[in-house]
Amino acid sequence: MHSSMQQLRCKCPSSTHTASLPLQAPLKRAQHINKYALCPARRMCQATWQCAAAAAAAAATPPEVTAAWKLLKEFTRMEIKGTAQQYLGSASGRAQLKDALMLVYSQPCVEESWSCESPPDVLMGVVAGDSRLGVRALRDWCQALGLPHLQPENRVPGAASIAAVQGAVYLKYNSTTKLCYISLYQGRDRGVLLQLGQGQLLGHFPLGLFDEAMRNPEPILGQ
C-alpha cells in the first residue's frame, strides 16, 4: 500500500472491515477516529444490524399471530367490497373475528407496526344509526380491550346533549391523546374501525361484536 495511506479498523463492534484513510497530521487523524460515527463503513454496519434486528423480530412472531393478522386484513378487504358475509353472516364467523382481534391485540407484531405497549396506542372510529348504539358500542369495545372508557364530547351543533342527537353518528376515540367526541355522520357505513399502533386500519367490525346478546346495561349518555 502507498505510504500516504494507512488502514484503520472501523470502530464498529465485532467489525472486520477496514477503511483507507489518508495519512494526516496526528490531530486530524485523532479527530477522525474520535468521530467514527461519520465512517461510511460504520453506517453500513448500523444498517445491517437494524435489518438483522427487524428480521429477528419478525421471525419471532408466532405463526398463529401472523395468521390472525392475515384473517383480519382479508376481512377488511372483503368488507370494503361488501363481500364479507362469510364472517358477518354467522355466529362462527363473528367468533373468528373476535378471537383474531383479541389475539393480535395481546401480541406484539413488528410487521404490523404494533408494539402491544402499555398503555396501548389505539384509534377507534364508531359509526352507528343513533347516539345510543354508538356510545354503547364504544363502551363495550373499550371494556373488551381493557381501554379507559371516555365520555364523548358532544360536537353536534344544536344538540343540547348526546341523548338529543338525532340521526346517524360518528364517534372518534384515541387512547393516547384521550380525544373522544361524537358528531353527525352522513354515510351508510355502520360498525367499528380499529387501528392498532401505526398499523393498517381494520374493519368495519360489528358494533355488538363483544355483546351480541346486549346483556350489558344501557349506556349513560352524557352532555
* pLDDT digits 0-9 by tens, 15-41: 444 343 343 444 343 343 344 344 555
Start-end of H helices in 61-123: 63-81, 85-88, 91-106
124 and 205 in contact (C-beta within 8 Å)?
A: no
Distance, in Å, from the CA atom of 201 to the CA atom of 168, rounded to the nearest integer, reads 21
CA distance 78 to 86: 10
**Lowest mean per-residue pLDDT among 39-53, 148-162, 166-180:** 39-53
* Percent of the chain whose predicted confidence (pLDDT) is above 90: 70
Architecture per CATH, domain 61-205, reads as 2-Layer Sandwich (3.30)
pLDDT for 73-109, tens place per residue? 999 999 999 999 999 999 999 999 999 999 999 999 9
Residue 124 scores a pLDDT above 50: yes
Rounded to whole angstroms, how far apart are CA atoms 137 and 212? 10
Q: What's the predicted TM-score (pTM) here?
A: 0.74
| pLDDT, the chain, mean | 82
Those residues with Cβ within 8 angstroms of residue 15's Cβ, 6 or more apart along the chain or in another chain: 9, 41, 42, 45
Residue 114 per-residue DSSP state: B
Residue 155, SS3 per DSSP: coil
